C-alpha cells in the first residue's frame, strides 16, 4: 500500500475569503506587503536582472573598455565553459560542497541531534552550547580563530598538538588547503544541521519507534526504516539550504587562503570575485554567477523532487 | 477602509518628509563654507595627512576662502582599496581627493572616473618644479594628465650587508644575474635559507607586476609597450627572459616559494624573514627605509642603515647594465564626479609643496618628485631619501597605459605556475601570452 504523508490541511485554511472582506483588506494587505515587495524588487530582482544583462556584455570596471561596453551575446558563457580555471573552480566548489555540507555537516549534525534526543545523555546543555558556538561566532572571528589553529609556525594550536607527538610544524593551509577549509566549514555549519534535525526528530511519533522495537528492530534498523523516512522532508530541506549557502561561501575561504595556494581553493565564489572585482571584468564575473545560479537551481529542483515522501 | 487610507497617506508623508530632510541636510549654501573630502588608506599616510589638514584650512582662511577638509581614513590593503574605490567611482560617491598608487591611474583614467588636471597644472607655478621625467610619465595615453605625484623613489635590491659579510659573501654590486645567483647559492648552502624575495604569484596582487616583474622587464627590454599605438608587444624578447629568471630562482630553491603562495606573502618575507636576516635580498622601493623597516615602520630593523644596503638590479641579458627602476609611488587624483574640483586642487597643491610635502616624504620613505625640496626639513635630514632622489635621474622607467591591469593579472598567474612547479620559464611565458592575449583583446595587442 502506498500513502502520501502530507500534513493535513484544514478546510478553513483553504476556503477563499469572501469578496467583500478581501476588498476591505486590500489596502491594508498592500500596505503591509508593499515595503517587502519594493525591497525584494530593488535588492534582489533588479540586481539579478541587471546581472543577466551584464553577463551578455563585455563590461569592464576599468580601462577604456569601461566607457563603451558592447553586447557580446553568449560569448562570456562560451568562454567560461571552455576555461580551465573556471571549470576547476566549479570542480573545487563541488568537492567543497559535497564533503563539507552534504557529508560533513549533515552526518555530524544528525549524530549530534540524535545524541541530544537521547534521554540518558548527561550535560545536554553544555553539549548543545558547544555545538552551537560556531554558528553564533561572526565569520571574521571564526576565520581568525582557525587561522590561529592552522598557523604554520610552532605556536599554531594544531601544530602544538602534533608537536606533542614529536611532529614538526606543518603549514596546514599549504599542505592540505582544501581539506582544511572543508573542516572549517563543517565546524561552522554543523550547528544549523543539528537544530533542524533535532526539531524533525521531535516530530517522529514515539509509538512508531516503540512498535518497531517490539517487532525486534535494532537501533540502526529503526533509524534506517522508520526515523529517516519520516524526517526525509526536513533532511532534504536542510540539504537544499546548506548546498545553496555552501556554494556561496566566500569570506571564510578568502580570509584563510584567498583561493590559494596555486588556486587549490579557488572555489567559484572566489573566482567570481577575482574576475569581477579584482580584474574588473564584471561581464565575465556576472556570467560566472549566472552559471552558478543555474547549477544551484538544478540542484534545488532535484532536492525538491527527492523530498517528496512516499512510504 | 478610510482609516487604512489615512494610515497609508500618513506613512507616505512621513517617509517623504524624512527623505527631503535627509537630502536638504547635505546642501551647503553657495556662499558658505565648502567641505571637501580626502581619502587615505594606509595608516602612515592617514597620520601624516591628518596632521597637515589644519595647516591647509588655516592657509585658505588667510586667503579668504572657507574650505573645510574631512579626512576619510579607511585602513585597507591595495587590493581592498582598489575594489572599494572602484565601487565608489561607479556610484559617483568617491571623495574629492583620492591618494592612490600611480599604477591604478591608467585604468581609472581610461574608464573616465578621473578628472583631467591639465588646466589646473598649467595655471600653477609649482608644476614647473616637477622633474621632467615625472611630468612625462604623468601624461596618459590620451595625452592628458590625471594625477599629481606625491611620492616617488627607486626600486632596487635591498640586501642584508651584515649577514652577507658574516657569511663571507661578496657585497659589491653584482653586474649580472648569473653573478648574483652564484652568491645566493652560497648563502643558501651556508644557511639553508631561500635568500631572495621577488614579488611573484597571485597572492601578491598587483605588486607582482609593479614591484617585481616590470622592473626586471624594463631593465632589459623597453619595447614591450608602445605608447604611440597603446599596444602591448607580447613577443618582445624581455618577457621570456624574465620568466626564465623566475624559473631559475625557483628551481635553485632561492625563492621562498611557500611564503609567496600564501595570502599576504609580504608578511613572512619582508616583515619577518628579512628583518630576521633569514631572507638576505629583497626587491624593494625607497619606502623600505621608512615604511617597512624604519624606526616607525611596520617591522623596524635596529641600526637599519648599518645592516642594510642596496644594489641596483643586475643586468639580465647580454649587454645589460645594472639599473634602478623609477618608481612612481603615490599620486593625488580628483574624481570626475567631484563638485569641488577647484578646492580639491588647492588641497593637492598645498600637500605637494614645501614643508607639507617634505613631511609626507619622510613619513612614507620616499624621494621627492620636485626639484625644490632637497633643502626643506625634515626631508633635508634624510640621506637615504636624498640619495634616492639623485638616483631617480638615472633610473629606468617605461610608461604604460590601458591594459596594465590585465598584464598584471596574466603575469601573476604565469609566475604562480612557476612557483607551484607546474611550468618552467618557457611554459610560463606561453601561458602568459595566451592569457594576456585573451584578457587584452585584439585592440591592445601588437599584431
Q: Is residue B14 part of a domain?
A: no
Q: Is residue A92 part of a domain?
A: yes
Q: Quick one: closest CA in B to A23, which residue? A: B1
What average pLDDT does the segment B44-56 reach? 95
- Distance (Å, rounded) from C-alpha B217 to C-alpha A272? 30
Q: Is residue B387 part of a domain?
A: no
In chain B, the number of structural domains is 2
Q: What is the structure's pLDDT at A219? A: 87
What average pLDDT does the segment B178-199 reach? 97
Who contacts B305 (Cβ-Cβ below 8 Å, separation ≥6)?
B289, B384
Q: What is the structure's pLDDT at B34? A: 94
Q: Which residue has the cell 577638509?
A: B69
Cβ(A108)–Cβ(A190) under 8 Å? Answer: yes
B chain contacts of residue A63, beta-carbon cutoff 8 Å: 106-107, 110-111, 402-403, 405-406
For B416, the closest of A63, A66, A262 (CB atoms) is A262
ipTM greater than 0.85, yes or no? Answer: no
Residues 415-444 of B with CB under 8 A from A: 416, 419-420, 422, 439, 441
Q: How far is A52 from chain B (nearest CA, A)?
A: 19
Confidence label for A311 from pLDDT (cuts 50, 70 and 90): very low
Who contacts B355 (Cβ-Cβ below 8 Å, separation ≥6)?
B376, B377
Evaluate if residue A162 carries a pLDDT over 80: yes
For the domain that residue A123 is a member of, what is the CATH number? 1.10.3720.10
B4·A31 Cβ contact <8 A: yes
Confidence label for B197 from pLDDT (cuts 50, 70 and 90): very high
Evaluate if residue A166 carries a pLDDT over 90: no
Evaluate if residue B252 carries a pLDDT over 90: yes
Segment among A42-51, A207-216, B20-29, B226-235 with least mean pLDDT = B20-29
Evaluate if residue B3 carries a pLDDT over 70: no
Q: Is residue B322 part of a domain?
A: yes
Q: What is the structure's pLDDT at B227? A: 86
Evaluate if residue B15 carries a pLDDT over 70: no
What average pLDDT does the segment B247-272 reach? 93
- Distance (Å, rounded) from C-alpha B37 to C-alpha B51? 15
Top residue of B203, B410, B415, B423 to mutate, by most chain A CBs within 10 Å, is B203
Q: What is the structure's pLDDT at B31? A: 58
Q: Which pLDDT tens digit goes with each residue over B61-106? A: 999 999 999 999 999 988 889 989 999 999 999 999 999 999 899 9
A62·B441 Cβ contact <8 A: no
Alpha-carbon Rg for chain A in angstroms? 24
Q: Answer whether B7 touches A (CB < 8 Å).
A: yes
Say whether both B224 and B284 belong to one domain: yes
Q: What is the mean pLDDT of chain B?
A: 90
Higher per-residue confidence, B369 vs A136? B369
- Give A293: exposed, middle or buried? Use CB within 10 Å, 0-12, 13-18, 19+: middle
Confidence label for B28 from pLDDT (cuts 50, 70 and 90): very low
Say whether both B289 and B431 belong to one domain: yes
Q: What is the structure's pLDDT at B333? A: 97
For A279, the closest of B90, B263, B405 (CB atoms) is B405
3-state SS, one letter per residue, for chain A = CCCECCCCCCHHHHCCCCHHHHHHHHHHHHHHHHHHHHHHHHHHHHHHHHHHHHHCECCCCCCHHHHCCCECCCHHHHHHHCCHHHHHHHHHHHHHHHHHHHHHHHHHHHHHHHHHHCCCCCCHHHHHHHHHHHHHCCHHHHHHHHHHHCCCCCCCHHHHHHHCCCCCCCCHHHHCHHHHHHHHHHHHHHHHHHHHHHHHHHCCCHHHHHHHHHCCCCHHHHHHHHHHHHCHHHHHHHHHHHHHHHHCCCHHHHHHCCCCCCCCCCCHHHHHHHHHHHCCCHHHHHHHHHHHHHHHHHHHHHHHHHCCCEC
**Short-list B221, B248, B245, B247, CA closest to B235:** B221
Q: Is residue B61 part of a domain?
A: yes
Say whether both B340 and B233 belong to one domain: no
Say whether both B38 and B112 belong to one domain: yes
Q: Is residue A247 part of a domain?
A: yes
Q: What is the structure's pLDDT at B118? A: 96
For A63, the closest of B4, B90, B111 (CB atoms) is B111
Q: Would you put residue B155 in left (φ > 0), alpha (ψ -120 to 50) or beta?
A: beta
> Count of CB atoms within 10 A of residue B47's CB?
14
Q: What is the structure's pLDDT at A271? A: 94
Q: Is residue B305 part of a domain?
A: yes
Say whether both B336 and B311 belong to one domain: no
Q: Which pLDDT tens digit goes with each residue over B271-285? A: 999 999 999 999 999
Q: What is the structure's pLDDT at A16? A: 61
Q: Is residue A197 part of a domain?
A: yes
Q: What is the structure's pLDDT at B19? A: 44
What average pLDDT does the segment B402-411 reach? 89
How far is C-alpha B295 from the geometric centre of its chain's CA atoms? 22
Q: What is the structure's pLDDT at A3? A: 40
Q: Is residue A33 part of a domain?
A: no
Q: What is the structure's pLDDT at B402? A: 85
Domain residues for the domain of B65 are 34-152+328-382
Q: Is residue B224 part of a domain?
A: yes
Q: What is the structure's pLDDT at B376? A: 95
Q: Which pLDDT tens digit goes with each residue over A227-237? A: 999 998 889 98
Q: What is the structure's pLDDT at A14? A: 54
**Short-list A185, A184, A179, A225, CA closest to A204:** A225
Top residue of B3, B9, B87, B261 to mutate, by most chain A CBs within 10 Å, is B261
B261·A24 Cβ contact <8 A: no
What average pLDDT does the segment A7-16 reach? 51
Evaluate if residue B440 carries a pLDDT over 90: no
Q: Which residues of A68-82 are buried (b: 16+ CB within 10 A; e: fewer)?
A: eeeebeebbbebbee
Q: What is the structure's pLDDT at A17? A: 61
Residues 93-112 of B with CB under 8 A from A: 106-108, 110-112
What average pLDDT does the segment B355-376 reach? 94
Say whether both B283 and B356 belong to one domain: no
Q: Which pLDDT tens digit goes with each residue over A284-293? A: 999 999 999 9
B chain contacts of residue A277, beta-carbon cutoff 8 Å: 83, 86
CA dihedral B25, B27, B32, B35 (to 10 degrees): 90
- Distance (Å, rounded) from C-alpha B89 to C-alpha B112? 9
Among the ranges A188-202, B77-91, B130-144, B161-175, which has the highest mean pLDDT value? B161-175
Top residue of A32, A62, A168 to mutate, by most chain B CBs within 10 Å, is A62
Q: What is the structure's pLDDT at B23? A: 42
B111·A260 Cβ contact <8 A: no
Q: Is residue B83 part of a domain?
A: yes
Evaluate if residue B12 carries a pLDDT over 50: no
Q: Answer whether B3 touches A (CB < 8 Å).
A: no
Q: Is residue A62 part of a domain?
A: no
For the domain that residue B105 is a member of, what is the CATH number? 3.40.190.10
Q: Which pLDDT tens digit goes with each residue over A246-266? A: 998 999 999 898 887 878 899
Q: Is residue B2 part of a domain?
A: no
Say whether both B319 and B343 belong to one domain: no
Q: What is the mean pLDDT of chain A?
A: 86
Confidence label for A18 from pLDDT (cuts 50, 70 and 90): low
Q: What is the structure's pLDDT at A15? A: 60
Say whether both B48 and B179 belong to one domain: no
Evaluate if residue B159 carries a pLDDT over 60: yes
Q: What is the structure's pLDDT at A243? A: 92
Cβ(B326)–Cβ(B312) under 8 Å? Answer: no
Q: How far is B18 from chain A (nearest CA, A)?
A: 16
Q: Which pLDDT tens digit goes with each residue over B375-402? A: 999 999 999 999 999 999 889 999 888 8
Amino acid at each position: 500500500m502506498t500513502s502520501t504523508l502530507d500534513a493535513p490541511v484544514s478546510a478553513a485554511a483553504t476556503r477563499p475569503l469572501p469578496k467583500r472582506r478581501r476588498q476591505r483588506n486590500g489596502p491594508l494587505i498592500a500596505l503591509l506587503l508593499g515595503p517587502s515587495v519594493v525591497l525584494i524588487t530593488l535588492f534582489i530582482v533588479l540586481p539579478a536582472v541587471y546581472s543577466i544583462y551584464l553577463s551578455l556584455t563585455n563590461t569592464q570596471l576599468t580601462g577604456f573598455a569601461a566607457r563603451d561596453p558592447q553586447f557580446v551575446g553568449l560569448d562570456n558563457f562560451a568562454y567560461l565553459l571552455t576555461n580551465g580555471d573556471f571549470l576547476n573552480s566549479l570542480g573545487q566548489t563541488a568537492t567543497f560542497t559535497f564533503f563539507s555540507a552534504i557529508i560533513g555537516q549533515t552526518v555530524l549534525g544528525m549524530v549530534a541531534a540524535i545524541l541530544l534526543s537521547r534521554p540518558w545523555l548527561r550535560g545536554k546543555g553544555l553539549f548543545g552550547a558547544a555545538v552551537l558556538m560556531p554558528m553564533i561566532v561572526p565569520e571574521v572571528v571564526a576565520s581568525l580563530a582557525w587561522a590561529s589553529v592552522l598557523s604554520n609556525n610552532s605556536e599554531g594550536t594544531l601544530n602544538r598538538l602534533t608537536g606533542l607527538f614529536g611532529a614538526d610544524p606543518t603549514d596546514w593551509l599549504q599542505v592540505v588547503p582544501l581539506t582544511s577549509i572543508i573542516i572549517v566549514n563543517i565546524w561552522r555549519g554543523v550547528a544549523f544541521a543539528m537544530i533542524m534535525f533535532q526539531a524533525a526528530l521531535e516530530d517522529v511519533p514515539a509509538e512508531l519507534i516503540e512498535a518497531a522495537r517490539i517487532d525486534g528492530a535494532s537501533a540502526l534498523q529503526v533509524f534506517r526504516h522508520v526515523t529517516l523516512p519520516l524526517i526525509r522532508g526536513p533532511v532534504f530541506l536542510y540539504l537544499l539550504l546548506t548546498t545553496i549557502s555552501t556554494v556561496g561561501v566566500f569570506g571564510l575561504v578568502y580570509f584563510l587562503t584567498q583561493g590559494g595556494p596555486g588556486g587549490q581553493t579557488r572555489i567559484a565564489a572566489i573566482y567570481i570575485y577575482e574576475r569581477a572585482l579584482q580584474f574588473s571584468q564584471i561581464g565575465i564575473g556576472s556570467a560566472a554567477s549566472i552559471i552558478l545560479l543555474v547549477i544551484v537551481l538544478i540542484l534545488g529542483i532535484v532536492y525538491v523532487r527527492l523530498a517528496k515522501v512516499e512510504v | 477602509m478610510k482609516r487604512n487610507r489615512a494610515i497609508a497617506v500618513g506613512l507616505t508623508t512621513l517617509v517623504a518628509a524624512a527623505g527631503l530632510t535627509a537630502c536638504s541636510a547635505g546642501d551647503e549654501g553657495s556662499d558658505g563654507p565648502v567641505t571637501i573630502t580626502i581619502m587615505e588608506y594606509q595608516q602612515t599616510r592617514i597620520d601624516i595627512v591628518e596632521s597637515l589638514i589644519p595647516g591647509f584650512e588655516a592657509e585658505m582662511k588667510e586667503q579668504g576662502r572657507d574650505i573645510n577638509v574631512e579626512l576619510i581614513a579607511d585602513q585597507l590593503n591595495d587590493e581592498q582599496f582598489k575594489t572599494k574605490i572602484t565601487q565608489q567611482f561607479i556610484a559617483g560617491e568617491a571623495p574629492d581627493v583620492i591618494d592612490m598608487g600611480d599604477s591604478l591611474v591608467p585604468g581609472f583614467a581610461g574608464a573616465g572616473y578621473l578628472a583631467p588636471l591639465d588646466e589646473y597644472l598649467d595655471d600653477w607655478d609649482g608644476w614647473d618644479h616637477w622633474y621632467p621625467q615625472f611630468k612625462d610619465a604623468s601624461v596618459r595615453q590620451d595625452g592628458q594628465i590625471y594625477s599629481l605625484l606625491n611620492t616617488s623613489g627607486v626600486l632596487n635590491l635591498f640586501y642584508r650587508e651584515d649577514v652577507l659579510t658574516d657569511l663571507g659573501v661578496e657585497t659589491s654590486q653584482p653586474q649580472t644575474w648569473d653573478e648574483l645567483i652564484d652568491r645566493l647559492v652560497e648563502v643558501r648552502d651556508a644557511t639553508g635559507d631561500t635568500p631572495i624575495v621577488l614579488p611573484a604569484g597571485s597572492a601578491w596582487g598587483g605588486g607582482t607586476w609593479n614591484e617585481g616583474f616590470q622592473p626586471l622587464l624594463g631593465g632589459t627590454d623597453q619595447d614591450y609597450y608602445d605608447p604611440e599605438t597603446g599596444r602591448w608587444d607580447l613577443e618582445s624578447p624581455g618577457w621570456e627572459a624574465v620568466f626564465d629568471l623566475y624559473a631559475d630562482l625557483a628551481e635553485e630553491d632561492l625563492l621562498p616559494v611557500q611564503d609567496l603562495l600564501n595570502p599576504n606573502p609580504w608578511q613572512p618575507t619582508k616583515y619577518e624573514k628579512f628583518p630576521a636576516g633569514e631572507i638576505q635580498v629583497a626587491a624593494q622601493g625607497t619606502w623600505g627605509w621608512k615604511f617597512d623597516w624604519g624606526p616607525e615602520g611596520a617591522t623596524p630593523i635596529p641600526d637599519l642603515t648599518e645592516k642594510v644596503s642596496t644594489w641596483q638590479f643586475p643586468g639580465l641579458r647580454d649587454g645589460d647594465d645594472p639599473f634602478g627602476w623609477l618608481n612612481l609611488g603615490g599620486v593625488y587624483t580628483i574624481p570626475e564626479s567631484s563638485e569641488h574640483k577647484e578646492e580639491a586642487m588647492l588641497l593637492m597643491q598645498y600637500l605637494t609643496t614645501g614643508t607639507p610635502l617634505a613631511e609626507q616624504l619622510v613619513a612614507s620613505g620616499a624621494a621627492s618628485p620636485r626639484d625644490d625640496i632637497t633643502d626643506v626639513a625634515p626631508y633635508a635630514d634624510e640621506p637615504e631619501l636624498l640619495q634616492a632622489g639623485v638616483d631617480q635621474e638615472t633610473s629606468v622607467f617605461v610608461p604604460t597605459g590601458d591594459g596594465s591591469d590585465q598584464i598584471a593579472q596574466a603575469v601573476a598567474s604565469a609566475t604562480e605556475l612557476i612557483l607551484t612547479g607546474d611550468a618552467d620559464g618557457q611554459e610560463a611565458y606561453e601561458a602568459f601570452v595566451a592569457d594576456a592575449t585573451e584578457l587584452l583583446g585584439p585592440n591592445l595587442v601588437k599584431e
